[in-house]
Amino acid sequence: MGWNGRARISLVTEDESVLVSGGDRSEWEGIKLNEDPDGMFDTEVELKTIDVAGMPGGFDGGEETPVRTLTLPFNCYDMGDGIEATISRLRRLLWRRTFEWHYETEYSGLRWLKCKRSKSIKVNPKRDWNIDNYALATVEAVALNPDYESEPHQVIATNPSAGENTVWVPAWNPTDRPAWPIWSIKPNGGECQVSLPDFSFGNEQEIDQTGNWQPGDHADRMITLEPTEQFVSVMAHPMMDPYVASDLSNFDGQMGAVEPLYWIPEYTASEDDPVMLPVIIDGPAGAQVKLRLRRFWSAEMGGE
């Protein structure tokens, strides 16, 4: 793959993909990203402030990151079948409205945005298409999650023998966004009880606003799940269901009010020097627990 100092940018759908910038001329398919896209590179982070009556200034209320809005202009050319064929190809690519925007560099690798087209495709030829064999097509879209994503970190802990064993799994977060653990339990044909790490990394007071928890109180917090023979997913992100069993039983209710709370903070540890997380598996030999950490970034490249 030749880089020539340029990023490879692709429009990717469920059915196919088109390279719209970078790459060799032999890879071009008549749809090229114009030089003036909007919303692709910047993330609009706003500081929320809290005003208090009778006091000067205000307090820091944290950051707010709105939905990312993209305006993507494409130069469309006749590649031998007529300009209409190129426009038709673009419309066919985006007829489902959802697509991924892939941005790949030699430095940072591949990152992507999950997007949804928000308006009809606007085509503005300066003259008749067949005179210039060219048209400008503009796609407007939103990324409800404004962060770019890259390949996740995944590691599997396997119980080496029947009974209770502790398996250590490596974890790290190289990004400028929190990494929320996703755990998957596979009992392997028998009843299995698992204890999972939910370490705070000093963020107790981000969860407990009363001040009763102090940094370090949950430095080695573990969550012990109810014994199960079902596949179970455990998700720490506050917008997700914390527990989902494969038989759709009320595993959440079985756990009462005990839920995962914490994330792995930005720029924590590294691949060469990871945090080692203990996973306690009490069950059949071969029972597995998988850790998945999705990687999110505020920008299309850099930040490592």
Could you tell me the CATH number of the domain that includes residue 252? 2.60.120
Evaluate whether residue 302 is within a structural domain: no
pTM across the whole model: 0.87
Q: What is the mean pLDDT of residues 60-69?
A: 66
Structure tokens at 191: 């009843």
The two tokens of residue 296 are 């999110």
Single-letter residue type at 151? E
- Asked whether residue 227 is domain-assigned, the answer is yes
Q: Sign of the CA dihedral 287, 153, 19, 68?
A: positive
Structural domain includes residue 303: no
With a cut of 60, say whether residue 50 has pLDDT above it.
Answer: no
- CA dist 125 and 123 (Å) reads 6
- Nearest-angstrom CA–CA distance, 221 and 198: 5
Q: Are strands 58-64 and 134-143 parallel, antiparallel or unpaired?
A: unpaired
Greater confidence (200 vs 302) lies with: 200
Q: What is the pLDDT of residues 272-300, one digit of tens each?
A: 999 999 999 999 999 999 999 999 999 89
3-state secondary structure (DSSP) of residue 132: helix
The arithmetic mean of pLDDT across residues 17-43, rounded, is 78
Helix (H/G/I), strand (E/B), else coil: 126 = coil
Cβ–Cβ under 8 Å, residues 249 and 160: no
| Least confident span in 35-44, 129-138, 180-189 | 35-44
Supply the pLDDT for residue 210.
83
pLDDT at 126: 61
Mean pLDDT of the chain: 88
Q: Which of 146, 174, 204 marks a domain boundary? A: 146
The total number of structural domains in the chain stands at 2
- The pLDDT, as a whole number, for residue 47 is 42
